Every structure is written in structure tokens, then in C-alpha cells.
Amino acid sequence: MAFSHNFQRRLDLIILLTQKEFALKYKRTFLGIFWSILNPILLAVVFFAAFKVFMRFQINNYTFFLLSALFPWSWFSSSILISARSMVDNISLIKKVIFPRHYLVVSVIIAQLVHLVFAIPILLFFSYKDGTGPSMLWFVAIPILIGVQFIFTLGLCLMVSILNTYFRDIEYLVSVVMNLLFWMTPITYPISSIPPQFHFLLVINPLTGLMSAWRDLFQNNHFLWKETSISAVMAFLFLGAGIVVFKKMERRMDEVL
């Protein structure tokens, strides 16, 4: 009884914090929740113009190619950028109320996940048009990929959010690093366009495997088990590191906020 009450309460807390994250984002906007659908579409138009119209990349079906990795990437990058401020922006909650502080980060990642879910129909449309999918594989692969990416993102977000309470420089650093990481990950270009001497950069970047797996699933209806497994192992390592750093620094957070 006490256990189930506690569980229910924790679940409710995460739901409410996520709702808050979501509700606040679109408070006082005219289009409200439609921004969640409009945003990825507008993003796609921008990249289509940049690469197809101005730079004329020679890749077939470039829009679909780009979007199949860009949408999962957006989930990752917006989660990191927003959670960098999730402790700092909730000072009053942290100082005056007791609750598991990592829920703040979890709720940010879930709220951002909703945007990815909204974007999946767009990918579904493209893959239907191409005649490659969708298939039953999607129902297995998408939850797995979401799970792996969630774990990886959570590990990083925990670190970034708690470090930013000690050094506010982190949030500025993060936005630069995210930009660098975006161009280092094969999202706008295929892996094959990277010279062999730089391949090590792709291997040490856990996002490469993950983004390739997303793309391969949507474009070729094929699941990259090996890449996903390697990313999963790395994701758990990042989560472990994130938890250690978070637990250690959380204890003295009240002295710096």
C-alpha cells in the first residue's frame, strides 16, 4: 500500500512537471501546441533551402534523408539546452520543497520527446511515399531507439544541469559545443562523405550510431542492431557518470544557488 502510493505519487509528480514544462512553453502564444508540429516542418524547410536550393547536395531524396536524423537530433539538443537551466530556473522549488531533483531534468526530456512524437507522422508520410515502410519493425525499433537515446540524453542532462549551478558558464559553453556536435554527427551529410582519416571522430561520438540507426530505420526499413547496441552501452556509461556527478554535487547545491 505504502509502496504503491509512493510509486503513484512519483509518477504523478513526473507527469505534472512534464505538463508544466509543456504548458509554460506555449503560454501566451497564439498558435499554442501547433508550434510543436509547425516547428519541425519549418526547420525542414530551412534545411531544404540551405542544402538543396543553395548548396545543391547530390543526394537523392535529401529532405527525407535529412529529416530522419534531424528530428531525433532536435530531441537530443533541445533537451540538453533546456535542462542546462532546469536547476537554475527552479531555485525556489529546490530551496523550499523536497522532491527528487532529477525529476526536473526527466520532465524536460519527456516534454521534448513529445515534439519528436509529433514529427514521426511526417517521416511516416515520406516513407509511405517512397514505398519502403512503415512496417511492424517500427513498433519495436522506435521504442528501443527512444529508450537508448533517453538514457544517453538523461546522463548528459544530469551533468550539464548540476554543473551549471556551480559554474553558470556551462550554459554558454553547452550551446557552442552542441553546435560543434551537430556538424560532427552525420545528420546533414552521409557517413560516406567523411574522409577515412577522420573516421575515428565518428566512432568516439555515440550519437553517430544512434542517428544512423534512426535514419536507416526510416529510410531503409532496416534496424542497425550492432550500432544501436554499442550506443546503448555508451548510453549506460554516460548515465552512470551523470548519476555519480549529480548525486555528489546535489548535496551542496543549496550553498551555491
- Give 56 or 96: the residue with its C-beta nearer to another protein: 96
Within 151-180, the residues that bind another protein by CB under 8 A are 166-170, 173
CB of 95 to another protein, least distance (A): 6
How far apart are CB 248 and another protein at their closest, in Å? 12
- For the chain, give the number of residues: 257
| Binding residue for another protein, selected from 1, 27, 55, 60, defined by CB under 8 A | 27
Q: Is 13 in the site for another protein (CB under 8 A)?
A: yes
- Distances from the Cα of 164 to the Cα of 36, 55, 143, 225, angstroms: 27, 38, 30, 35
Residue 5 or 56: the one with the smaller Cβ distance to another protein is: 5
Nearest CA to 82 out of 112, 122, 39, 43 is that of 112
Minimum Å gap between C-beta 78 and another protein is 20
Q: φ and ψ at 195, to 5 degrees?
A: -60, 145
Is residue 244 at the binding interface for another protein, with CB under 8 A as the rule? no
Q: Does 251 bind another protein (CB under 8 A)?
A: yes
Q: Single out the residue of 1, 28, 139, 198 in contact with another protein (rule: CB under 8 A).
A: 28
Question: Is the distance from CB of 185 to CB of 194 less than 8 angstroms?
Answer: no
Q: Which of 1, 97, 136, 180 binds another protein (CB under 8 A)?
A: 97
> What is the identity of the amino acid at 179?
N
Query: Contact region for another protein (CB under 8 A) — 24-32, 52-60, 212-220, 228-236?
Result: 24-32
- Footprint (CB under 8 A) of another protein, residues 99-118: 99
CA gap 101, 110 in Å, rounded: 15
- Binding segment for another protein (CB under 8 A), chosen from 5-13, 104-112, 120-128, 131-139, is 5-13
Question: Which residues sit at the interface with another protein, rule CB under 8 A?
Answer: 5, 8-9, 12-13, 15-17, 19-20, 23-24, 27-28, 92-99, 166-170, 173, 251-252, 254-256
